[in-house]
Amino acid sequence: MSALRPTISSILALAFLAGNSLGEAESSEEPAPACSTPQVRQESWRSETLESCGIRLRLPARYKQKHWDVTVGDFVGASYRADNFDRIDINVLAAPDAAPERNKIHREIDHRGYSECLVTIGGRKAVMQSLRGGGVILDGGRSYPPFVVVASWQLRPDPVLQITFSGSTRQSQEEILAVLRTVQFL
């Protein structure tokens, strides 16, 4: 029995190292630049109209709307989920100054590869931000920072439309950067 211990220990050590090296690869990949317009196939995407948010956008078929059993306050928005870790949250927020530049997320110490740009989408000025960080994805013994995108638009004098994405891969992040460019205002 003692002859098997080194073999089992070696196997466990190799499995641990293999799991950690996968996490390191996911951890070291840089986020997509906020200003890039990724070339993403959109044939299977569907149009989604959110009357309460005043927008229409196109989403990949894999995203399904998440309906909340309980909401707090006057929530205006929608949430979509795909796979285990990819999520899109769309919110209309009250703001004393609805300029998109004043309603972006603030850069934190753990935000890596941060980029932002001011673009016009749907005929309105938007601030788009892209980064890695703002949390940790735990997946089968691996841990790595999520890929994040945040876009903010001024709707009317007061409210701000904010679309946030958090996901597990750069490919999903690039897909969301393409989704944001499909936003149309009703």
Q: In which element (H, E) is residue 97 found?
A: none
- Rounded CA-CA distance 150/83 in Å is 20
Q: Domain for residue 8, yes or no?
A: no
Write down the residue that tokens 């309105």 correspond to: 124
Q: Domain for residue 156, yes or no?
A: yes
Q: Domain for residue 107, yes or no?
A: yes
Q: Domain for residue 17, yes or no?
A: no
Total domains, the chain: 1
Of 10-19, 73-82, 85-94, 177-186, which gets the smallest average pLDDT? 10-19
**Structural domain boundaries enclosing 67:** 30-185
Tell me, what's the pLDDT at 130? Answer: 94
Tell me, what's the pLDDT at 16? Answer: 39
- Residues 98-141 have pLDDT tens digits of 777 777 777 787 888 999 999 999 999 999 999 998 889 988 88
Q: Is the pLDDT of residue 12 over 80?
A: no
- Rounded CA-CA distance 63/22 in Å is 26
pLDDT (average), residues 46-51: 96
Q: Domain for residue 48, yes or no?
A: yes
Confidence at 26, pLDDT banded by 50, 70, 90: low
